[in-house]
Amino acid sequence: DIQMTQSPSSLSASVGDRVTITCQASQDISNYLNWYQQKPGKAPKLLIYDASNLETGVPSRFSGSGSGTDFTFTISSLQPEDIATYYCQQYDNLPRTFGQGTKVEIK
């Protein structure tokens, strides 16, 4: 199975800050990577697909980049409603696998 490693596991930032999360795959997955946002008590929501494409309706302050084994997810200006846990997910191979998550909090 492909292992997905996210860092950090949690972070605290101020409103307006730039936030960056990284995701590393245990093998080359090209750009076969999605990013999800999960708010407490809610189902995950797809934010970015194919490593860098913004899902319809998702604010442009969210972005993704990377290919191969190293990927980055960025919130350009953190907003209070962005408090959530973020997950990466690979779809190069079965089984699909998720990173362990990054919890984002407001400082």
Q: Residue 45, interface with another protein (CB under 8 A)? A: yes
C-beta of 61 vs 96, nearer to another protein: 96
Name the strands in the sheet holding 70-75, side by side, starting at the edge strand that comes first in the sequence: 4-7, 19-25, 70-75, 62-67
C-beta of 78 vs 90, nearer to another protein: 90
- Pick the binder of another protein from 21, 44, 64, 66 (CB under 8 A): 44
How far is the CA of 30 from the CAs of 18, 24, 71, in angstroms? 26, 12, 10
Q: Residue 32, interface with another protein (CB under 8 A)? A: yes
